[in-house]
Structure formats: C-alpha cells, structure tokens
Chains A and B, each alone.
Chain A
Amino acid sequence: MNEIVRKPAMRLWEMQVDDTQAREAAERPEAVHKHDNEVTLRFPALSRNESFARMAAAAFITGLDPTLEELSDLKTAISEAVTNAIIHGYRKGPGEIRMFLATQGMTVYVEVEDYGEGIFDVVKAREPMYTTRPQEERSGMGFSFMEAFMDTLEVISTVGTGTLVRMSKTIRS
C-alpha cells in the first residue's frame, strides 16, 4: 500500500539556514569581508524590488559623497542589471537575486547575480539595441547603459545556470 507522506509546509523561521559564513565573519571578520565595507542582499525576483535595489545601493555609497550624476549612474546600472535578472533570467518563473555591494577606497564594486536561464550569446547580448524580445518594447539598451555609466562591466553567464554581472565605478568627486 502506498502511503502518502505529506511534508508540513516549512516556515521561514524553521528553514535550515547555512550560517557558516556569518559565524566565521563574527569570529574573523577580516577573512570574510575583504573590502572597506560590504553588504550582500538576497531578494526575490519581483519587479517592485528594482527600486529597492537601486535605493539600497545609493544609500550604501553615500559615505563616499558621490555627485548626483555619479549616484544616478550607479542607480541606472543597478536598475538595468536587476531588471535583466527578472525579465530574462527568471522569465519562466520566480527566483532569487543576489546583490553584492562593496566599497574599497573610492571605488564601488557591484555584483548582481541570478540563478536563472543564463545568456546564450553574451557578446550579442551586449550589443547596443540588441534585444531577444522586441515585441515587448525592450529598448535593448540595458548593457549599453551599464557599460556607459560604470567604469568596468563583466558579464559571466552559463545557459541553465545563471548570470553574474560585475561592475565597478570610482567616485571622483
């Protein structure tokens, strides 16, 4: 006889969280945090989190006293990266986005990572005006904006595994 075993729904506070890194950070912060300051945020791929992500980044770098233009550059780049993760990476369903922010001296480092579909042809995706979904009026300028408004841009992607966007910008004010 087949017995159906029903797993009870797991609540957030009952979930097993891997806190190895957090414990290590508490004991030896210098081994885990390699920058002057850094923060990692994990959030579901919901479009309403686009504004949260760029505002969090703006708040994080206020200490570097950026100009309004530099702040706007960073916000735009982050908005583009997070939007890409949501509409392309997780086109087929929900998922999680990891955003890492760090400052070292006057340089801001940003990583936006998704664990979604991945990009088939990164070189093509980075071309200005290229979009896989013109019918949805995507302007195809996401990567161009990231490239134009940040100092460096690196896109690492594997089909089926996800995409990591790495950017940096030095605040010159």
Chain B
Amino acid sequence: MKERHPAQYTVKNRCLYIALLEDLDQHNVDRIRARLDALIDECGSNELVFDFSKVSFMDSSGIGMIMGRYRRLLSRNGIIRAVGVNPSVARIMKYSGLYQILRPEFAEAGMREN
C-alpha cells in the first residue's frame, strides 16, 4: 500500500516549516520523525513551525514527537511554534502541558485560526 508522506517541509533561512497533512498518531509520527530530524541537522534549524491547519486529530504520540524535537532544539536555543491548531488538538496540547513549550503567542494565534 502506497501512502503519501504525512507532512511537507519548507526551509527558509534557518526556519523549518512543517505542513502536517494527516492526523498525528503513532503511525504518522514514526514516518515524520526520521525525515524531520535529518532536515533539522542538514539546515541547522533553530526554529520549527508546525502548521496544524489540516490536522483534525492528535494523540500522545504527537505530543511525544513535539517534545522530542523541543529537546533537540533546546541546545541551540531554538523555538517551536504551532499554527492553525483546531480546538480539539488545542485541548490535547493544553492537557499535556505542551503549551508551556510552544511559543504561547503563536499558540494563541493558532487558536484564532490564524
């Protein structure tokens, strides 16, 4: 079965923009993680922007992935933002404490369907 890759990546300067195309569960997270880490290393990113506009569902696997990337970026003072977060994904982020590590102003902007 041929499945499309669940994300699209765009690099601008040292900012890596990740347009998530599918639900963030363990299946998709496993497919995203390796490619994302390769790109982070390749372009020395210190800023990640996750675009959640097309994501209707996220579970704890998605939380784990974002926290893991946060730890990776921590050593180079990087930041992580989330945009286009829908209310049900936002609930999961709030409940898990993920909002504490996402840049809050952008997390809020995401909630307003920025």
Decide yes or no whether B64 CB sits under 8 A from chain A.
Answer: yes
The reply to whether A50 and B26 form a contact with Cβ atoms under 8 Å apart is yes
**Residue tally, chain A, CB below 8 Å to B:** 24
* Other-chain residue from B1, B64, B92 in contact with A138 (beta carbon distance below 8 A): B64
Which residue of B1, B23, B25, B96 contacts A139 across the interface (Cβ within 8 Å)? B96
By the criterion CB–CB under 8 Å, are B96 and A51 in contact?
no
Is the contact region of chain B dominated by helix, strand, or loop, or is it mixed? Answer: helix
> Contact residues of B with A, CB < 8 Å?
1, 3, 23, 25-27, 30, 33, 57, 59-61, 63-65, 67-68, 87-88, 91-92, 95-96
**What 19 new A-B contacts, CB under 8 Å, besides A137-B68, A139-B61, A144-B60?**
A47-B26, A47-B30, A48-B3, A48-B27, A50-B25, A50-B26, A51-B25, A68-B88, A69-B88, A72-B88, A79-B25, A79-B57, A83-B25, A86-B26, A87-B26, A138-B61, A141-B60, A141-B96, A145-B95
User: 8 A-B pairs, CB-CB below 8 angstroms?
Assistant: A76-B57, A79-B57, A86-B26, A87-B26, A138-B64, A139-B64, A141-B96, A148-B95
Contacts of A76 in B (CB 8 A): 57, 59, 92
Q: Is the CB of A69 within 8 A of B60?
A: no
Residues of B within 8 A of A145 (CB): 59-60, 92, 95
Q: What's the Cα separation between A109 and B29 when bound, in Å?
A: 28
Asked if A83 and B65 make an inter-chain contact with CB atoms under 8 angstroms apart, the answer reads no
Docked CA distance A68–B88 (Å): 8
Identify A75's interface contact among B27, B57, B95, CB under 8 A: B57
